[in-house]
Amino acid sequence: MNKSIQKYKHISFQHSWKIGEETIYELGQCNSIIRALCNIPISPDYRLKLLSVSLKKGARSTTAIEGNTLSDEEVEKVDRGIRLAPSKEYQETEVLNILKALNQLLREVSVDHKIERVSAGLIKRLNHMVGKDLGEHFEAIPGKIRRNNVVVEVKYRAPEYKDVELLLKQFCEWSIKEFHFEKGQSFIDSIIQAIVSHAYIAWIHPFGDGNGRTARLLEFYIMLRSGNPDFASHLLSNFYNETRNEYYRHLDKSVKTGDLSEFIAYVVKGYRDGLNDILDLVHKYLFEISWEKYIHDMFQTKKIKGKTESINKRRKNLILAIPIDNKLNIDGIMNLNVEIASTYKVRSPRTLARDIKELIDLKLLNYENGIYQANTALLKRYIPFERGKIKK
């Protein structure tokens, strides 16, 4: 290695970490959850909904870490092409750049099946995506290696600018060999490469601005090409934002020690927990689909023969409108949605009372102390005991 580079002891391009038994176990859990997610039949509409939420959360989180203050509602507007107030224009552009970058990388990997190895060119391209059109709010030329020395948050003096190009080149060459990219990576190799790459970009700090966002984009890209579900693309950025102090503490400690063991353990745990949350969401969606089917089937049985078609339809619409996790009083039921409100507004209160009684008799609705709730226990009792549920 070039002697001028050896002065950065933490940037060793060596296997400077140990994966503990708990982290290995958690990586196995991550792999199992991803397999489950990839094999669960979910509708294209719901998948797109999950993906849309994921991309917006990812864009908001990775920019929020750097100080962007846009709310979820404002990010939603940005995603829909609605302009924000002029005073928030640069924050809008920051978020829009990340949204575009995530979509671009998803398209390349998932649609065009274009897989790149980690290279200086790729990293520069990611930084260009981050800083595009930000003007004076981006303190560098997007995609260009810095030409000045910098101190990061008063704590960390980044490598001298004259060493950065070589450090980046050596990092990319080492990364490909260390993580067996050319020979076919294991799942664990790909996840560790993503996390280690994140840290190395933070350490080398190759650009004048946007290094954190570039590091997280690179991490996202490596995980995406390894099979991470696209609708789970926000998980790590979201985790870092929610645990921001820990995130910076682990990065700071890794600089001082040159040891990435604790940073890797911290990231893997957050990744596993995030995947579990996604799996819970998908299971909830599947349960709702099953509940709706059960209701439709129920209204085809002999139990309610003799009722007119319009009455059956009205009662079926009522029980379908009741959220499966909500507890409602009579006013809450009356105002479930516009359709329900308009249906019962033109009828006497006794009509709603009779309909509710029928749903209770059919065991589709529970009632206790003035509170109504969908009787989803009818289905839950058929779900096998979750003996193997992955614990957080």
| Residues annotated catalytic, as ranges | 205
Amino acid letter, residue 253: K
Q: Residue 145 has what DSSP assignment?
A: B
CB atoms within 10 A of CB 181: 18
The two structure tokens encoding residue 13: 């391009």
Alpha carbon of 361 to those of 97, 116, 328, 349: distances in Å? 55, 61, 18, 18
The torsion angles phi and psi of 370, rounded to 5 degrees, stand at: 80, 5
Q: In the chain, how many H helices and how many E strands? A: 16, 4
Packing angle of the helix pair 120-131, 161-178 (nearest 10 deg): 120
Q: Of 264, 139, 132, which Cα lies nearest the Cα of 205? A: 139
Q: Which residues contact 86 (CB under 8 A, 6 or more apart)?
A: none
Alpha carbon of 123 to those of 80, 192, 198, 218, 303: distances in Å? 28, 18, 11, 7, 65
DSSP reduced 3-state for 328: strand
